[in-house]
């Protein structure tokens, strides 16, 4: 059954209105009609809803709240050094399907691309749309937050707000004896919010690694193979899902 995230607040009698692209999708793509049902997610809670009117907007009545078990038990934010091409779009889509709580893109020392001004705004809006569609497709109850592009200094400051910060950094992992990712996950059962930091194609620089280490971050390698910048976050989220779900 198709799922839609609804911004409109439900009325006292349980009705709400679906507008914009979602309304068009219901009427033109799904070709639904009055009396048919869909899932409406309101304020993070999924409801079974029945269509009562289709015009330029779609009117639905909420029937009952549904049980929700779709969210990861940990709030995981993925911090990605800006990669080339459309890799961040792939990360956004697949990480949303895997349960990502939020995406925090940052301009790393080794990032080749730069997002400035209007370009940055358009890119972020594009990522928000991708996250929404992926959340609907994967039947989640919340859309991951897509943060504006941070500088590395802003990322380091933001790291203080998380219960745990984990950095995928191959060289540091080797120096420290290669603490396994699985071992780190076993230590996070009492943690709620987790920040996972990944570098761009060139990886995290030594200066960035030192700053994150000073901020209390844990360093690890994600297995014996070197993963691409778009693969590493998905590997990490899969491992977290296996551990905690």
Q: Is the pLDDT of residue 173 over 70?
A: no
CATH number of the domain at 112, please. 3.40.1280.10
Residues 135 and 227 in one domain: yes
Of 71-80, 191-200, 205-214, minimum mean pLDDT range: 205-214
Of 74-83, 177-186, 195-204, least confident by mean pLDDT is 177-186
The distance from CA 236 to its chain's CA centroid, rounded to whole angstroms, is: 13
Q: What is the pTM for the complete model shown? A: 0.89
Whether 138 and 19 map to the same domain: the answer is: no
The continuous run of DSSP H or E covering 55 comes out as none
Q: What is the pLDDT of residues 46-64, one digit of tens each?
A: 999 999 999 889 999 999 9
In a domain, 70, yes or no: no
134 with 212, same domain?
Answer: yes
Q: Same domain, yes or no, for 52 and 79?
A: no
For 117-130, what is each residue's pLDDT tens digit?
788 999 999 999 99
**pLDDT at residue 20 greater than cutoff 80:** yes
pLDDT of res. 174? 63
Q: Which of 73-77, 112-116, 138-142 has the lowest mean pLDDT?
A: 112-116
Query: How many independent structural domains does the chain possess?
Result: 2
Per DSSP (E only), the strands in 96-208 are 102-107, 145-146, 150-151, 164-168, 193-198
């Amino acid at each position: 059954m198709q799922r839609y995230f609804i911004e409109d607040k439900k009325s006292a009698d349980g009705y709400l209105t679906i507008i914009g692209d979602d309304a068009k999708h219901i009427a033109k793509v799904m070709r639904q009609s009055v009396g048919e049902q869909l899932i409406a997610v309101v304020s993070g809670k999924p409801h079974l809803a029945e269509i009562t009117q289709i015009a330029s907007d779609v009117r639905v009545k909420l029937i009952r709240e549904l049980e929700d078990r779709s969210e990861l038990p940990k709030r995981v934010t993925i911090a990605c050094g800006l990669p080339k091409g459309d890799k961040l779009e792939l990360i956004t889509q697949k990480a949303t399907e895997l349960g990502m709580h939020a995406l925090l893109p940052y301009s790393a020392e080794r990032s080749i691309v730069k997002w400035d001004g209007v370009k940055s705004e358009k890119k972020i809006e594009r990522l928000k749309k991708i996250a929404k569609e992926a959340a609907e497709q994967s039947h989640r109850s919340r859309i991951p937050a897509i943060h504006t592009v941070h500088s590395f200094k802003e990322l380091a400051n933001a790291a203080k707000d998380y219960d745990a910060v984990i950095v995928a950094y191959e060289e540091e992992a080797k120096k420290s004896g290669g603490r396994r990712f699985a071992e780190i996950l076993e230590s996070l059962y009492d943690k709620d919010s987790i920040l996972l930091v990944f570098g761009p194609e060139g990886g995290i620089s030594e200066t960035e690694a030192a700053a994150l280490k000073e901020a209390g971050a844990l360093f690890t390698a994600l297995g014996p193979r070197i993963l691409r910048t778009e693969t590493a976050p998905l590997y990490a989220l899969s491992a977290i899902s296996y551990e905690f779900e």
